Amino acid sequence: AAPSAPSTATTRLCFRRSPVPLPMARRILRLGAPIGALATGALAGASRKASSAAAPEHFDFLVIGGGSGGVASARRAAMYGKRVAIIERGPDRDQHGQRRGGGYGGTCVNVGCVPKKLMYTAAAHFEAAETAPGYGVEMGKPRLDWGALAAKRDAYVARLNGIYTRNLDNAGVTHVEGLARFVAPREVEVAGARYSADHVLIAVGGRPATPPIPGAEYCISSDGFFDLKAQPEKALVVGAGYIAVELAGILQALGSSVS
């Protein structure tokens, strides 16, 4: 299912002159160094769980959402010497076990491009085994251990989550885990703790849209594909966008019967 339009908010971002000379900043970017690697301050490497406080902790810039856009914005602001915090909900689930959050890196890292490419690579091995005899190579019929594949895929994603948080630490960005809600202009609450900022960026992304048709509640989205505990013998894919076509092809190559 195609993602719905992301939530957006307009805010004015005004940065003072960077403490890092611009030629040096450009050289850092060209070399691929972590954005904000030169940022200093008491917050460097800070990470915390939300905790209660009498008065809100104040920042120059507060980002809600730890996807690619939110993380990039937070690190860039830190590069310019701002006091920055980012709030990420994490991969929590509702009472029915449905995923509600992604985790650091957002859709692409957690339930999008990255895990999909790993599943695609497994499917490519199956296709190679099928065509190998045409090149004089006998490989036999491959067998898939879905549980092992899913475990290795999830471990790879977890490693990327760690890289994202380490990059935030290196940039001096405080990261808070939990669900944020606004309680006042430019002030949010996370598990009883309050945080305020001169500027707030909402970068929470979107979620797959389920069509309003009878029986839709029994279906899963592309997010749910990565929660499957076992390979389905049969699968019906509704839709013909690139996500639908990719997942249908992966399942078919791995041995599922797909319509």
* pLDDT, tens digit (0-9, with 9 covering 90-100), for 23-41: 444 443 444 433 333 333 3
Q: How confident is the model at residue 102 (pLDDT cuts 50, 70, 90)?
A: confident
What is the pTM (predicted TM-score) of this model?
0.75
- Please, which residues bridge with residue 3 across strands? 208
Inter-residue contact 63 to 85 (CB < 8 Å): yes
Backbone angles phi, psi at 41, to 5 degrees: 140, 175
Strand 174-177 and strand 47-49: pairing? parallel
Q: So what's the pLDDT on residue 54?
A: 64
In terms of Cβ atoms closer than 10 Å to its own Cβ (0-12, 13-18, 19+), residue 87 is buried
Which carries the bigger pLDDT value, residue 240 or residue 207?
240
Read off the pLDDT band of 161 (50, 70, 90): very high
Among 195, 160, 165, 164, CA closest to 179: 195
Mapped onto helix, strand or coil, the DSSP state of residue 85 is: strand
The answer to whether 1 touches 216, Cβ cutoff 8 Å, is: no
Mean pLDDT of the chain: 83
The yes-or-no verdict on residue 213 having pLDDT over 60 is yes
Q: Which of 43, 40, 18 is nearest to 29 (CA)?
A: 18
The pair of three-digit structure tokens given for residue 21, joined into one six-digit string: 């000379």
Helix locations, the chain, DSSP H:
22-31, 68-79, 106-111, 113-131, 146-171, 222-225, 242-254
DSSP string, 151-180: HHHHHHHHHHHHHHHHHHHHHT-EEEES-E
- The token pair at 208 is 């797959």
Burial of 6 (0-12, 13-18, 19+ CB in 10 A): middle
